[in-house]
Amino acid sequence: MEFLLSLAEEEQVILVGHSFGGLCISVAMELFPTKIAAAVFVSAWLPSPDLNYLDLLQEVYILAILFC
């Protein structure tokens, strides 16, 4: 996140996330929408308009309690 904060106003990046990294780039996309040109989810957790990263984390937590 520090890197995104350090970008000049007109600069943008392409984010790539794998596995749990999908949640990480989702957070970055929500926090810095003007800094992200594109995001690539490679076999990654992928939130939807109706299911954000916080909802996904809650589901993972519940599954861990039930099955671990």
Question: Quick one: pLDDT at residue 32?
Answer: 95
pLDDT for 57: 77
pTM recorded for the entire structure:
0.72
Q: Could you read off the pLDDT tens digit of each residue along the chain, which spans 68 residues?
A: 899 999 999 999 999 999 888 888 988 998 999 999 999 999 987 877 787 777 777 877 777 777 76
Cα dist. 50→42, 54, 55, 56, 59 in Å?
Answer: 20, 11, 9, 11, 14
Domain ranges of the chain: 2-67
Q: Six-digit token pair at 23? A: 């949640």
CA distances from 17 to 7, 20, 23, 60 (A): 19, 8, 8, 18
Q: What is the pLDDT of residue 36?
A: 97
- Predicted local distance difference test score (pLDDT) of residue 48: 77
